[in-house]
Structure 1
Amino acid sequence: MTTTPAKGFQLGSTLYSFTNEWHERRYGFEDLIAEVAKRQLGPGLELIGFSSIRGFPNVSDDFAARFKDLMAEHGLTPSCLSINADMAIRRGTMMSVDEAVAYHAPQIEAAAKMGFPTVRCQFAAPVEVIIRLLPLLEKHGIKIGPEVHAPLNPSSPPVMAWREAYAKANSPLLGFIPDFGCCASRLPATYIANLRRQELPEDLIQLALDVWQLPKDAGWKRQEFARRVEPLNADPADVSALAVMFNILSPGTAEMWKEIMPQVVHVHGKFYDFDEHGDEASIDYNSILPVFHDGGFTGFMSSEWEGHLYMRNVDAFEMVAKHQAQARRVIAKHTGQAA
């Protein structure tokens, strides 16, 4: 079975999808990599540095060599290393720009040592930090980009600030990593069912769902939700639990990604669950993937299953396989080629 769509971008997996298997110690690090290869869920492989690598960002010569051996043995390709900003790692104070540069640099060095061509950073760090790291990125030929994650979109103020800084820096190494959770048409039925299992009041759930659909940013939605529930004397804990939905997924269109398509360096193919046709039930991949194909994106899309946050006793590898199968179907149909 091919793991690459008919043309254009390539498929892969992030080990984040297998968080439950990892945390429950059903698989070790090398076991996860082997299983990804066995189930043909590559060729791209993405890691989160601090989650997957003991002692990160310190990567020993032996570990880096073993990782490269594993990639060769299993026919996988390092696609992206996700790194952390951790600007508030010290209680009561934020890192300075100088400190943040020093914090990011060894993480980028680790990516280079392990053979990753791309690094995912975070908007939590000022864009000045990334601009100052350009000489290091150029030294290793590594591309970098923050994840444009719900509730953001390419036109959100934080993203626009980075786009403006990028325009001044004018480097092909500076980009963005779209997360398709920004393009949800609805919240997953399984997520809503989980809210009900927690016995949250049905009237509050419905209010939250109504607010989620509104074309506003997450801050506005939280305030609006609070305003609507205030007369109900709701438990603050219930209100807080429901307000999370405004940040995990947000409504958006496939077309919005065209604004930054030339600067897309990697993609997070967020997904949760599937309908009876095998299509992601909340995110319209049938519209999104053709935009990236036609836009000329040729990098990796990591299948990123986030249903593990509330779904148990589900085989994450099977979920990723379904996601990649849909991606192949969509691109095959779009290009008129067999999947």
Structure 2
Amino acid sequence: MTTQHRIKRGVSLYSYQYETFLRTMTLDDCIAHAAGLGARGIEVVSEQSFTGFPNVPDEQVAAWFASLDRHNAYAQCHDMFMDIKLYKDRRLNFDEMVASLERDLHFAKRIGCPTVRIIVNTPPEVVVACVPLAEKLDIRMGIEVHSPFHFDHPWILRYTEITRATGSNHVGYVPDMGMYIKHYPPVFRDRFLRMGATPKIVEFILQAHEARVLPDYVIMDVRKLGGNPVDLQMAETLRHNIWSNPRRMLEFMPWIFHIHAKFYEIDETGKEPAIPYEEIIPVLIEGGYDGHLSSEYEGQRHIEDAFQVDGCAQVRRQQEMFKRLLGEQ
């Protein structure tokens, strides 16, 4: 595999959600850990990292920049959320959704992020309405193509049609590598077994996933096999944990601004057993991707019932894998 590329490494601070929630790591600790691995592009979930978001005091923002400077890191991406069901009795209307996204664009500018991850449930018309502000602030908006969505999903195709018509180079995509679940994640399997799943039915579900059997058929068969509620819950996860072809990214590469390098674990061999990064990274190199691979660890929620969570160790393992696959010394 050629190592001629311009791919950069980063970390989403979402990877340290467990440590942040338990207050065993500060925002500065998270930035220091990521930058210490050479992953200097920092992605931030502002609700997690800034007290009182979106009304963040100036001193917090100053501390953010001081921490980035101290650890030779830089702001890369701000993750926005569209709380469409903010009110109990109604959904946000169009103008309110536009105002919400514009608020996030302004905040991204305030903390120095050149990219905003647009949550996938954001209507494309809302994104289009915010293009003039994004261009004025010079911030790129990328919708997160997140499982069970994929590049050929009707919602993403509609987003593509509507946003591409703007002709703007400030609107595109942030693919989440969780749409490339080639093998059922072992941490999922083990958690369901601890919860009381039937071993024979678990094996049936694993085989069905490998064979790409439609989830509705798997769920129906698990019911016929007399599956218990945990078995059915495991079968339901097949709806969300999909396998699509990473090569589909090639067509969209000019508009891919950032990548969520989702992972559930890096095992002792240095591989993600569910998501084949050894297949994904060559596609990114072939397509000339020049953005960041941003570590996004989400395995903690699947092991916390039985094991000590160590997000730092997992992020370190993934970054070591990236260095190997990217040909870094």
TM-score by length of 1: 0.89
What is the aligned partner in structure 2 of residue 270 from structure 1?
262
What is the aligned partner in structure 2 of residue 29 from structure 1?
27
Q: 2:325 aligns with which of 312, 315, 330?
A: 330
What is the aligned partner in structure 2 of residue 280 from structure 1?
272
What is the aligned partner in structure 1 of residue 90 from structure 2?
93
Aligned structure 1 segments of 4 or more residues deviating by more than 6 angstroms: none
Q: 1:292 aligns with which of 281, 284, 296?
A: 284
Q: Quote the RMSD (CA, aligned, Å).
A: 2.0
Question: What's the CA shift string for 1:238-263, capped at 9, x where partnerless?
Answer: 5235413431x321222121121111
Q: Distance in 2 between matches of 1:323 and 1:276?
A: 11
What is the aligned partner in structure 1 of residue 107 from structure 2?
110
What is the aligned partner in structure 2 of residue 7 from structure 1?
5
Q: 1:246 aligns with which of 234, 239, 243?
A: 239
- Tell me if the contact between 1:188 and 1:272 (Cα under 8 Å) persists in the aligned partners: yes
Q: Secondary structure at the match of 2:142?
A: strand
Q: Distance in 2 between matches of 1:308 and 1:6?
A: 34
- Tell me if the contact between 1:59 and 1:110 (Cα under 8 Å) persists in the aligned partners: no
Question: What's the CA shift string for 1:113-170, capped at 9, x where partnerless?
Answer: 0000000011212100010011111111000111111122111111101110122111
Q: Are 1:190 and 2:187 counterparts?
A: yes
Q: Distance in 1 between matches of 2:183 and 2:29?
A: 35
- Tell me if the contact between 2:127 and 2:163 (Cα under 8 Å) persists in the aligned partners: no
Alignment of 1:47-86 (within 5 A): 47-86=44-83
- Tell me if the contact between 1:211 and 1:224 (Cα under 8 Å) persists in the aligned partners: no
Q: Distance in 1 between matches of 2:202 and 2:143?
A: 31
- Tell me if the contact between 1:208 and 1:243 (Cα under 8 Å) persists in the aligned partners: no
Question: What's the CA shift string for 1:198-251, capped at 9, x where partnerless?
Answer: 1122344234334434547xxx62x3333223334544465235413431x321
- The share of aligned pairs that are identical, in percent, is 28
Q: Distance in 2 between matches of 1:150 and 1:33?
A: 27
Q: Are 1:225 and 2:222 counterparts?
A: no
Q: Distance in 2 between matches of 1:232 and 1:245?
A: 17
Q: Which runs of 5+ in 2 are unaligned?
A: none
What is the aligned partner in structure 2 of residue 335 from structure 1?
none
- Tell me if the contact between 2:10 and 2:41 (Cα under 8 Å) persists in the aligned partners: yes
Q: 2:253 aligns with which of 261, 265, 268?
A: 261
Q: Distance in 2 between matches of 1:41 and 1:239?
A: 42
- Tell me if the contact between 1:179 and 1:268 (Cα under 8 Å) persists in the aligned partners: yes
- Tell me if the contact between 2:148 and 2:179 (Cα under 8 Å) persists in the aligned partners: yes
- Tell me if the contact between 1:212 and 1:246 (Cα under 8 Å) persists in the aligned partners: no
Label 1:41 to 1:26 Cα distance change in 2 as closer, same or farther (>3 A): farther
Q: Which amino acid aligns with 2:311?
A: A
Q: Secondary structure at the match of 2:171?
A: coil
What is the aligned partner in structure 1 of residue 144 from structure 2?
147
Q: Which amino acid aligns with 2:326?
A: I
Q: Which runs of 5+ in 1 are unaligned?
A: 333-337
Q: Secondary structure at the match of 1:176?
A: strand
Question: What's the CA shift string for 1:163-195, capped at 9, x where partnerless?
Answer: 101221111010101111111210122221111
